[in-house]
Amino acid sequence: MAFQWRAKVTEADQGRLLRDVLRDRLGISSRMLIDLKYEGNILLNGAAVTVRARVNTGDVIDLYLAETADARLEPEELPLTVIYEDQDLLVVAKPPRVIVHPVPPEPNGTLANAIAWHWAKQGESRPVRIITRLDRDTSGLVLVAKHALAQHWFISRPDMIDKYYWALVKGIPSPGVGLIDAPIAVNPANPVTRLVDPQGRSAQTEYQVLRRGKISLVQARLLTGRTHQIRVHFAWSGHPILGDEQYGGSSAHINRQALHCFGLRLVHPRTRQELCLLAPLPEDMQQLLDRGDVHLDQ
């Protein structure tokens, strides 16, 4: 499989080195420039050039790079809900209790295996480059880059993605709209988990309470991307996510953490246009929210 990318030189880039234009405008890393040099092709107005060529307003840059699928990732015919797909991006809705990528001792049955099968059916073979990961028991939208350039765009510009979550939490967070600003560190007693620690890395979560009760529906937006951030922040604030036993949430009524990534807002790497994608609240969370007789002390 090969990807092709075309860009037009603007007045702002007049006279600059092609290398600098590729880095600044397209977010291409030094590693990818090397790959393009030895395994791909860079054309300027249809002619092969080096990255030291100088560009002029109106010039057309074409990039080509051949890619092959990861031989260690076995395509598997598994259920896959595609929310959006074009030549650069794929967005899918991950169900709960599914891991995103194979890890020992689970080489199969993952979201990545399903994506590889989805592309194989289309006659395409490429690495599965997952940009926004979710925990095994968190459901919702996952963004996947279909080639290296799209991947580099988001890695080099993390502010080009906003992630929005719904969570069912115990009690009613106060105030109803707020910001949890609490640094997060690895838990020395259990390195798999995290905790709020003044010596940790900065972590900020915006939230809004949408429905109040014994169980509250909260909308959250990540301003930083720490491991388990939403789960840790709400547990620390005294309102653990239901089903999240790892952080003090009751699993009496739901057998996974009631956390769902319902929205992605991103700037598209090719068009530079804003793209907004949504996934509805999953059935298990909706059923729990609709129950008015839940006793959280069970």
Contact between 231 and 241 under an 8 Å Cβ cutoff? The reply is: yes
Which H/E stretch holds residue 18? helix 18-26
Domain end residue (candidates: 47, 66, 85): 66
Query: Which stretches does DSSP call E strand in the chain?
Result: 2-8, 40-44, 47-48, 60-66, 81-85, 89-94, 129-130, 139-145, 161-170, 177-181, 184-186, 194-196, 204-211, 215-222, 259-267, 274-278
Side chain identity, residue 166: W
pLDDT given for residue 298 in this prediction = 40
Q: Which domain holds residue 53?
A: 2-66
Separation between Cα atoms, residue 199 and residue 113, nearest integer Å: 38
Q: Both tokens of residue 81? A: 């809900």
User: One of 59, 88, 135, 137 is an active-site residue; which one?
Assistant: 135
Would 214 be classed as within a structural domain?
Answer: yes
pLDDT in tens, 40-53: 688 999 998 888 99
Task: Please give the tally of structural domains in the chain.
Answer: 2
pLDDT given for residue 1 in this prediction = 57
CATH at 232: 3.30.2350.10
Would 257 be classed as within a structural domain?
Answer: yes
- Of 272, 66, 250, 55, nearest to 160 by C-alpha is 272
Separation between Cα atoms, residue 63 and residue 37, nearest integer Å: 10
pLDDT in tens, 231-253: 999 999 999 999 999 999 988 88
Would 225 be classed as within a structural domain?
Answer: yes
Domain end residue (candidates: 66, 82, 110): 66
Would 200 be classed as within a structural domain?
Answer: yes
Would 238 be classed as within a structural domain?
Answer: yes
User: Terminal CA-to-CA distance of the chain, rounded, Å?
Assistant: 54
Three-state SS for 226? coil
Residues of the chain predicted below pLDDT 50:
297-298
Query: Can you count the helices (H) and strands (E) in the chain?
Result: 6, 16
Classify burial at 19, counting beta carbons within 10 Å of its beta carbon; exposed 0-12, middle 13-18, buried 19 or more.
Answer: middle
Would 243 be classed as within a structural domain?
Answer: yes
Would 128 be classed as within a structural domain?
Answer: no
Q: Is 159 a catalytic residue?
A: no
pLDDT given for residue 258 in this prediction = 97
pLDDT given for residue 191 in this prediction = 94
Separation between Cα atoms, residue 264 and residue 277, nearest integer Å: 5
Separation between Cα atoms, residue 95 and residue 269, nearest integer Å: 26
Separation between Cα atoms, residue 8 and residue 62, nearest integer Å: 9
| pTM (predicted TM-score) | 0.88
CATH at 42: 3.10.290.10
Classify burial at 28, counting beta carbons within 10 Å of its beta carbon; exposed 0-12, middle 13-18, buried 19 or more.
Answer: buried
Would 106 be classed as within a structural domain?
Answer: no
Domain end residue (candidates: 32, 66, 100): 66
Three-state SS for 118? helix
